[in-house]
Amino acid sequence: MYIVQIASECAPVIKAGGLGDVVYGLSRELENQGHTVELILPMYDCMRYDQIWGLHDAYKELSVPWDGGAIHCSVFCGWVHGRLCFFIQPHSIENFFNRGYYYGGNDDNLRFAFFSKAALEFLLQSNKRPDVIHCHDWQTGLIPVMLYEMYKFYGMANQRVCYTIHNFKHQGIGGMEVLRGTGLNNEVYYYNYDRLRDNFNPFAINFMKGGIVYSNFVNTVSPHHAWEARFTGISCGLGHTLEIHQDKFGGILNGIDFDVWNPESDRFIPHHYTAATFAEKAKNKKALRERLWLRHSGSAQGEQADQPLVCYIGRLDDQKGVHLVHHALYHTLARGGQFVLLGSATERGINDWFWREKINTNNNPDAHLELGFNEELSHLIYAGADIIVVPSNYEPCGLTQVIGLRYGTVPVVRGVGGLLNTIFDYDYDPNHPPEKRNGFMFFEPDQPGLNSALDRAIDLYAKNPPRFQQLAMGGMHYDNSWKHPAKIY
Ligand code: ADP
């Protein structure tokens, strides 16, 4: 099949979170399985140009109809670690993608509505006719709408759309300006509850709702989250729409790219290891401590040190249960462990809060808070830590716990969304025999809840190191690669 992925991220060139990992990893595996895959992405000024090979202009004169006129775009082409990517660069006073950020503008809805329109226009004008267009999240929700309502009549009648929702919280809300811009001009027609009208705000259109209504297949990124989306409030007002379209809605668990995330060959960690050479992992712990100026404890190099090193990697956002991340830091310190946090916040209040904590713990030899985005450091932390906490309020899939497993770092997670599909509690999981269990889980989103799981992990680490090591090594054997999910797609 010929598949075109249209998305706002693709790791490692554009990555704000798991979406980037998924777009890259899934594309690569689909190619491995014999499909032809191309990607269309925005050309941000702040993306990692050092991760693109052979960037050149592929299409200089792309004129994209917009707001009654047209915006002239250039399309560049290059390879991101083997994937063929087309980058769309608009030339207009709005400066859609030259702002030093991926998301966060007041006009994000217009920026990505334009990108969606430009991507379709590029397919049309360059005569690309994929079998499947795979769109991701709200940023590309209008693609199936425009395909069905407009581009079908221009010669793209045979393209089918798969729409993957990575996070229901951000849905893309707009008004008349979006309809005018994209040329979906029939206000009465689109402001209809069966089409784009937001289920709760009668004055708004909802991009993600459009994606659900108009796509041929809709999915979210884990089976349990698909269930939550339909039967709990987690889909932020789209439950009814999913109910109507239930026949084409499902959940496919994300994988991770087993070559990018591989402790046996990871170029960002100093000591490579596998489950069979697990002792080498302790050397990465030492390297991590050295890099972050943390105290060394325990016995000689290469042996298990006595202080457990607990980490958190991820966005600092209400979704991630930041109040529990904060608690995990101090609880770990109180239990005599060490804590490393790598995260960034877009919300000012959360950012200020964690900066204060960073200053508070500045002289503490057992804690380090790294505030910002650092891909390289994240690999070393996965390899060097003993335990990773993921106390999310909700989690469509979650990749950090799966990457943790791959690096023999034991996950302590809250039992929601994809965390329930990937982590099986060491003491209590009813569906897996003891040798198949791989972490610790809690359910109540409060401090005693987190303690109930984190304490069990720390106790096992301290009181029964061989069993803890067995648990960590067992996690490394899980196959959470893209092989199986890509087949389902
Ligand atoms: P999200 O909700 O952000 O998509 P996921 O768990 O699905 O969360 O994916 C997070 C991905 O982003 C992982 O690959 C993780 O390592 C990475 N990541 C998150 N925050 C940072 C950061 N501050 N620095 C480096 N990598 C990060």
Quick one: which H or E segment has residue 62?
strand 52-66
Residue whose CA is at the smallest distance from ligand 1 atom 26: 375
Q: Which atom of ligand 1 is nearest to the CA of 399?
A: 6
CA of 373 to the centre of ligand 1 (A): 9
Same domain, 369 and 301: yes
Same domain, 231 and 132: yes
d(CA 18, CA 165): 12
Residue whose CA is at the smallest distance from ligand 1 atom 12: 17
pLDDT band for position 297 (cuts 50, 70, 90) = confident
Q: What is the CATH number of the domain that holds 81?
A: 3.40.50.2000
* pLDDT tens digits for range 221-268: 999 999 999 999 999 999 999 999 999 999 999 999 999 999 999 999
Which domain-ending residue is among 234, 251, 268? 251
Same domain, 77 and 145: yes
Asked whether 367 lines ligand 1 (CB < 6 A), one says no
Rounded average pLDDT over 157-165: 98
Asked whether 399 lines ligand 1 (CB < 6 A), one says yes
Rounded average pLDDT over 129-152: 98
Which domain-ending residue is among 198, 232, 251? 251
Same domain, 70 and 200: yes
* pLDDT tens digits for range 53-62: 999 999 989 9
Same domain, 59 and 14: yes
d(CA 229, CA 362): 41
* Residue 205, domain extent: 2-251
Same domain, 236 and 380: no
Asked whether 20 lines ligand 1 (CB < 6 A), one says no
In a domain, 260, yes or no: no
In a domain, 265, yes or no: no
Residue whose CA is at the smallest distance from ligand 1 atom 22: 373
Asked whether 134 lines ligand 1 (CB < 6 A), one says no
Same domain, 116 and 27: yes
d(CA 57, CA 52): 13
Domain count, the chain: 2
pLDDT band for position 49 (cuts 50, 70, 90) = very high
Asked whether 318 lines ligand 1 (CB < 6 A), one says no
Asked whether 342 lines ligand 1 (CB < 6 A), one says yes
Asked whether 390 lines ligand 1 (CB < 6 A), one says no
Of 205-209, 409-413, 430-434, which gets the smallest average pLDDT? 430-434
In a domain, 474, yes or no: yes
In a domain, 246, yes or no: yes
Question: Is the model more confident about 300 or about 195?
Answer: 195
Q: Find all residues with CB under 8 Å of 484, minimum gap 6, and list them.
A: 255
**Of the residues 378, 392, 480, which should be mutated to test ligand 1's pocket, given the most ligand atoms within 8 Å of the CB?**
378
Mean pLDDT of all residues in the chain?
Answer: 96
In a domain, 266, yes or no: no
**Of the residues 399, 401, 416, 422, which should be mutated to test ligand 1's pocket, given the most ligand atoms within 8 Å of the CB?**
399
Does residue 305 register a pLDDT over 80? no
pLDDT of residue 112: 98
* CA separation, residue 110 to residues 107, 114, 165, 348, 467 (Å): 5, 6, 19, 24, 54
In a domain, 310, yes or no: yes
Same domain, 282 and 243: no
Same domain, 297 and 198: no
Same domain, 292 and 364: yes
In a domain, 178, yes or no: yes
Same domain, 289 and 386: yes
In a domain, 287, yes or no: yes
Which domain-ending residue is among 214, 236, 251? 251
Same domain, 14 and 88: yes
